A and B are shown apart, each in its own frame.
Chain A
């Protein structure tokens, strides 16, 4: 029976991970995701699961690598600078075909930045912040309940495709509280055994987790296999939400918490007689390029609204090309645009 709770975003992600059967959680404290760590510290040991506060984000992602290789559901969380530290580990996870969930509660950057919400890690998340030809699935929740749903989905996708999955949230989502209904917990012991994992080579040939092949032909094949996997995921796992796009002249492209704010903008603009819609990617990788391209055939303008210096905007431009105008509106530094400022921007582009 689903349980209804009032939780903040950070806590929902933690609780959803627990209910998804996360066996091991490793992380280092960083604002603004402290509550996620704290929730795990309180609850994981009670359930006989593993909580370790690692000595750094680097150590944490490598603990995740070990646990993932040993075949259990495992997660780490951090915020922007800490995610930068994890990039080598993420590349290793991707190259070694290991499932894991990584949560980024994005804050202002670059450098130390600040602790206010931002969307300035889109490139890092979707274009690979680490080295090599790889991708991770990136999911962008826009509400606290959706953060919980996507966290549970992340574990399933990670196991299904043997791929790291990132929850790309932000400091606003992490801190805000909403009522949430969470499903019954999964017992980790009930999850299917991973035949490829390092569980002890009893009665079978040894399993080896690695991302290494000195022979170029061998490494090429490894990469071809990864690319084939990414194509499959792109064909089957794209998720989007469209609001009022059927008859729109202008469409806002936005993800995460700013997309939710843009829903208010759509409502207000429609009330003012403007035919505006919202195109909200839920999977940021794979990016819903085909759907956006199709939509851009029917509208004059696709306005990207993003708390960044034009990051997702680049993927919007690639998808839309010359089919529609592709202006950008956003804020940096942790400033969250108000509905009024976004509406004013929309009005500028309406003929």
Chain B
């Protein structure tokens, strides 16, 4: 028996700050959840009209299609430098970068560290799924020891390729950043925690508090060779052991 929508209140719908475009992400990929959260936050803070998003290179290269806001698609790894340029040119805009683990923590290492160190008043969303999705599943700097990827077919070996890098912990050592946190999206509670964290990260920019970094542990069901539900469980049980959740720094 169908419910009568007329007598009901709609309590959840698509955020107004997002376009109608269909996400190009794989089934179960957390990029979609994260994008919805950002759209939500843009609605709540009413900032879409003065926001510039930065689309990186990676699975989220099409990020410029999702938001009813200006966007710049930029070179791989350079989003934090581009964000610096936009924010310095027009400090009234809300500028956020959205980057994967290759973009932010490998090729973009210098730009990421120095934007944080200068305390650029921007919001950085760092999607950490311990693998390179777009290019077919290679090792990321955040890949776990023993994790099989196309460039570590026998599992990542520390002696050959070092250890998964905890980039947020490194950024949290710096004097300038205002807020550094690591979140996850593998169940409702963590989705709600992440939403609060991302809202804070954008609020801090709006209030001029300073640089915010939100690292989001995400899944790559396709390249992890897992179902979306299995992938969520893997983050909950295994990934959080290496990448602990919570606020690393909050100077707000």
Q: Interface residues, chain A, CB within 8 Å of chain B?
A: 23-24, 26, 50, 52, 54-56, 58-60, 62-72, 74, 88-89, 92, 96, 198-203, 206-212
Flag if B85 contacts A210 (CB, 8 Å): no
> Which one of B52, B54, B88 lies within 8 Å of A63 (CB-CB)?
B88
- Given A200-B50, A209-B73, A212-B73, check contact A74 B64 (CB 8 Å): no
B46-84 interface mask toward A, CB cutoff 8 Å, 1 = contact, 0 = none? Answer: 001111101100000100100111111111001001111
Flag if A56 contacts B72 (CB, 8 Å): no
Query: Once bound together, how far apart are the Cα atoms of A62 and B79, in whole Å?
Result: 8
B89 interface contact, C-beta 8 A: yes
Flag if A23 contacts B89 (CB, 8 Å): yes
Residues of B within 8 A of A201 (CB): 48-49, 68-70
For the A-B complex with A56-B110, A58-B78, A208-B72 known, give 7 more contacts whose Cβ atoms are closer than 8 Å: A23-B89, A59-B81, A59-B84, A65-B85, A66-B83, A208-B71, A209-B73
B213 interface contact, C-beta 8 A: no
Query: Once bound together, how far apart are the Cα atoms of A148 and B70, in whole Å?
Result: 35
> Which one of A24, A58, A212 lies within 8 Å of B89 (CB-CB)?
A24
- Given A72-B90, A200-B50, A200-B51, check contact A209 B71 (CB 8 Å): yes
Q: How far is the CB of A124 from chain B (nearest CB, A)?
A: 18
Query: Once bound together, how far apart are the Cα atoms of A175 and B69, in whole Å?
Result: 45
- State how many residues of chain B have any CB contact under 8 Å with chain A: 36
> Which one of B55, B70, B72 lies within 8 Å of A200 (CB-CB)?
B70
B111 interface contact, C-beta 8 A: yes
Q: Interface residues, chain B, CB within 8 Å of chain A?
A: 48-52, 54-55, 61, 64, 67-75, 78, 81-90, 92-93, 110-111, 113-114, 118
Query: Once bound together, how far apart are the Cα atoms of A71 and B61, in whole Å?
Result: 22
- Given A55-B111, A67-B88, A202-B50, check contact A208 B70 (CB 8 Å): yes
Query: Once bound together, how far apart are the Cα atoms of A207 and B70, in whole Å?
Result: 5
Flag if B110 contacts A50 (CB, 8 Å): no
Query: Once bound together, how far apart are the Cα atoms of A66 and B52, in whole Å?
Result: 10
> Which one of B50, B84, B113 lies within 8 Å of A66 (CB-CB)?
B84
Query: Once bound together, how far apart are the Cα atoms of A202 and B51, in whole Å?
Result: 10
Flag if A64 contacts B85 (CB, 8 Å): yes
